[in-house]
Amino acid sequence: MSDLDDLYTELITEHSRSTEHRKHLENPTSIEHGHNPSCGDDITLEVKIENGIIAEASFNGVGCAISQASTDMMIDLMEGKSVEEARRLIDLFIRMIKSELNDDDDIEELDEAATLENISNLPARVKCAVLAWRTLDRAIIGSAANDENRSPTMGQASRL
Amino acid sequence: MKNDFPILSNGKIAYLDNSATTQKPRAVIDAVQKYYETQNANPLRGAYRWSVEATQKIEDARKKIAKFINAKSASEIIFTKNATESLNLVAYSFGRENLNLGDEILISIAEHHSNLVPWQILAKSTGAILKYIRLDSHGNFLEPDINSKTKIVAVTQISNVLGIKNDLSKIIERAHEFGAVVVVDGAQSVPHLKTDVQKLDCDFLAFSGHKMLAPMGIGVLYGRKKFLESMPPFLAGGEMIEYVEEQSTTFADLPHKFEAGTQNVGGAIGISTAIDYLETIGFEKIESIEQDLLDYAIPKLRDLKFIDLYGCDVENKIGIIAFNVKDVHPHDVATILDKNGVAIRAGDHCAQPLHRFLNLNSSCRASFYFYNTREDIDRLIDALKNVRKVMRLE
Ligand SMILES: Cc1ncc(COP(=O)(O)O)c(C=O)c1O
Ligand SMILES: [Zn+2]
């Protein structure tokens, strides 16, 4: 059972049930939907990007504890970060989950999300952990596009 | 019985995902291995002994399947790679030829995506309308709207989520009154119940070998001869032809018209041996073992106050139990059960419209076959008792 305790840590179970970021934003610059068809994880991420900074983010959705905790921790980490910084951290997180870290990577940069590192031993759950991060990546792209035509549109629902 | 199944014989895993695929008995594994070790050749193509034998094996398997489901003739048995391909074959070959703008295709809301998406695509491409049979609060089919516009009725005999045995006799009778053809998805029923296509009176029946002890990669489409004869080929290529000219081709007779390219002889031998194995046990016994497991499992699950069950307050059911653990997502339940040596499925089980209809995001599913035991169920129950603790809900 100790395996399971490493996976479903207090931090992860708490974040999975946290309601802090479960809300709608007033004027999001992008709304992006992410879905894992096989297990039914389904999140809608809203972001407000101002002057190249992720000013605010929120999400709604359903899914397993891993996907929901990962989303919640990601938003904690990303608010206030520049778009470039966010994309670097997304890449770092995905490489951590896929066991593709380099020697000079420092997962401490991911803050609490670094505790999801154990997922790399569970291939069936990798999709759950990375869902929010891939969705944010698309939201950033979507936001830049919306900047040009001004109104937030729903990005293409995607399959990972 | 588990001793016949090498993968189960050490008793480490309580395998409860039989609706997804079944394990293979030693007899099937040996028969397939023997074929590759002693007879392997391309069927229908060679005049030498191995090829002749390979051809013979396929045709023997075809005859055995015809008898197994009581088809009138072996030429009504088409080999495919799985139930999905069988259903697509009907949708593309029969559907495109016979559907027109405004015609209706009727399926149920409980269909597996394999018996849903092909009809959706067909409807889009022909201008036909896709209609649904909904379910009552127990999960049984409601009265179907079959009328003179209905051209195809495609329904599952048993849902892979609810496990309820749908009584298709009235639907089939009514569909035939209006001249509609009936396609039955037998992926979950053929492995568990005695099947008789003449008694059932369906026009097509699709099923997969791997859900009934055979290897993956071999499936079956049964089709009533008069329909198969009038249908155009689905896939084209070698072996399905008679004469090929530069600009035109005449096609082979049934069943080869629908079997383009090199066929899966190993798979055909596998399904044939699987049928022998199933018939040695007998469906009466298979059904009674599964019924016993259900009668044992459902009250135990009901005793767990944190479990919600779906489709379990009916009598007419095979060993498929869909459920949820309160406040825990199925995916987490499955991971926790896996760590306890219990294999179940979690997710939408390729039935998203059904989950939406039931107001569920997803569910857990435990599904039995005759080699499961009460001990497997005890292990499921014990592991479930742990789930909420691991999630720090208690
Ligand atoms: C009811 C039903 N229909 C169709 C299928 C498709 O079977 P296959 O994936 O073998 O083609 C399945 C299998 O999951 C099923 O349960
Ligand atoms: Zn998940």
- ipTM, 2 decimals? 0.85
Residue A6's pLDDT is 87
Q: Which helix (H) or strand (E) holds A48?
A: strand A41-50
Q: Quick one: pLDDT band at residue A1, thresholds 50, 70, 90? A: very low
Q: What is the pLDDT of residues B190-207, one digit of tens each?
A: 999 999 999 999 999 999
CATH 3.40.640.10 fits B27-280, yes or no: yes
**Ligand 1 site-directed mutation target among B160, B212, B271, most atoms within 8 Å of CB:** B160
Give me the number of domains chain A comprises. Answer: 1
Residue A144's pLDDT is 81
Q: Provide the CATH number for the domain around residue A125.
A: 3.90.1010.10
Asked if A66 lies within 8 A of B386 by C-beta distance, the reply is no
Q: Quick one: pLDDT band at residue A158, thresholds 50, 70, 90? A: very low
Alpha carbon separation from A159 to A41, A42, A101, B100, B372 (Å, rounded)? 11, 11, 25, 33, 35
Question: How many angstroms separate the CA atoms of B388 and B325, rounded?
Answer: 8
Mutate which: A4, A13, A19, A38, vs B, most B CBs within 10 A = A4
> What is the dihedral angle through the alpha carbons of B58, B61, B62, B67, rounded to the nearest 10 degrees?
170
Which of B366, B370, B372 minimizes the C-alpha distance to B384? B366
Which amino acid is it at A21? H
Q: What is the pLDDT of residues B231-252, one digit of tens each?
A: 999 999 988 889 999 999 999 9
DSSP B333-393: HHHHHHHTTEE-EEE-TT-HHHHHHTT-S-EEEEE--TT--HHHHHHHHHHHHHHHHHTT-
Q: Using the mean position of ligand 1's atoms as its centre, give its distance from the Cα of residue A48 in Å.
A: 43
Peptide bond between residue B144 and the one before it cis (omega within 30 degrees of 0)? no
Residue A38's pLDDT is 73
Asked if A128 lies within 8 A of B391 by C-beta distance, the reply is no
CA neighbours within 13 Å on the CB side: how many for B324? 17
Contacts of B365 (CB under 8 A, 6+ apart): B17, B19, B160, B161, B320, B321, B322, B323, B344, B345, B346, B349
The reply to whether ligand 1 has any atom less than 6 angstroms from the CB of B187 is yes
List chain A residues with CB under 8 Å of B348. Answer: 37-40
Residue A142's pLDDT is 85
Q: Which ligand is nearest to the CA of A124?
A: 2
Q: What is the pLDDT averaged over residues B279-287?
A: 98
B158: left (phi over 0), alpha (psi -120 to 50) or beta: beta
**Between A and B, how many CB-CB pairs are < 8 A?**
62
Contacts of B63 (CB under 8 A, 6+ apart): B74
Question: How many angstroms separate the CA atoms of A73 and A139, rounded?
Answer: 17
Residue A157's pLDDT is 41
Q: Which residue has the tokens 């009533």?
A: B224
Q: What is the pLDDT of residues B295-349, one digit of tens each?
A: 999 999 999 999 999 999 999 999 999 999 999 999 999 999 999 999 999 998 9
Q: Using the mean position of ligand 2's atoms as its centre, give its distance from the Cα of residue B299 in Å.
A: 29
Domain B2-24+282-390 fold is: Aspartate Aminotransferase, domain 1 (3.90.1150)
CB of B308 less than 8 A from some CB of A: no
Q: What is the pLDDT of residues B83-101, one digit of tens each?
A: 999 999 999 999 999 999 9
User: Mean pLDDT score of chain B, rounded to an integer?
Assistant: 96
Structural domain for A95, as ranges: 3-159
The answer, yes or no, to whether residue B269 has pLDDT greater than 90, is yes
Q: What is the pLDDT averaged over residues B170-178?
A: 98
Q: Which helix (H) or strand (E) holds A87?
A: helix A83-97
List chain B residues with CB under 8 Å of A125. Answer: 331, 335
Question: How many angstroms separate the CA atoms of B382 and A94, rounded?
Answer: 35
DSSP B180-236: -EEEEE-TTTTTTS---HHHHT-SEEEEEGGGGTSPTT-EEEEE-HHHHHHSPPSS-
Question: How many angstroms separate the CA atoms of A131 and A158, rounded?
Answer: 10
Residue B93 per-residue DSSP state? I
Question: How many angstroms separate the CA atoms of B270 and B183, rounded?
Answer: 25
Residue in B348, B361, B391 closest to A65 by CB: B391
Q: Using the mean position of ligand 2's atoms as its centre, give its distance from the Cα of residue A43 in Å.
A: 11
Instruction: Let me know: does B103 contact B80? Beta carbons within 8 Å.
Output: no
Per the DSSP assignment, residues forming a β-bridge with B367 are B17, B320
Domain with CATH 3.40.640.10 in chain B: 27-280
What percent of chain B is modeled with pLDDT above 70? 100
Residue B45's pLDDT is 74
Q: Which ligand is nearest to the CA of B334?
A: 2
Q: Quick one: pLDDT band at residue A155, thresholds 50, 70, 90? A: very low
Residue B34's pLDDT is 97
Residue B258's pLDDT is 97
Instruction: Let me know: does B205 contact B69? Beta carbons within 8 Å.
Output: yes
Atom of ligand 1 nearest to the CA of B160: 16
Question: Nearest residue on chain A to B387, judged by CA atoms?
Answer: A4
Query: Å from A36 to nearest chain B CA?
Result: 10
Q: What is the pLDDT averaged over residues B372-376?
A: 98
Question: Nearest residue on chain B to A124, judged by CA atoms?
Answer: B335
Q: What is the pLDDT averaged over residues B24-49?
A: 92
CB atoms within 10 A of CB B30: 12
Question: How many angstroms separate the CA atoms of B210 and B196, rounded?
Answer: 20
Question: How many angstroms separate the CA atoms of A110 and A90, rounded?
Answer: 9
The reply to whether ligand 1 has any atom less than 6 angstroms from the CB of B366 is no
The reply to whether ligand 1 has any atom less than 6 angstroms from the CB of B188 is yes
Domain with CATH 3.90.1150.10 in chain B: 2-24+282-390
Question: Nearest residue on chain B to A16, judged by CA atoms?
Answer: B391
Asked if A38 lies within 8 A of B347 by C-beta distance, the reply is yes
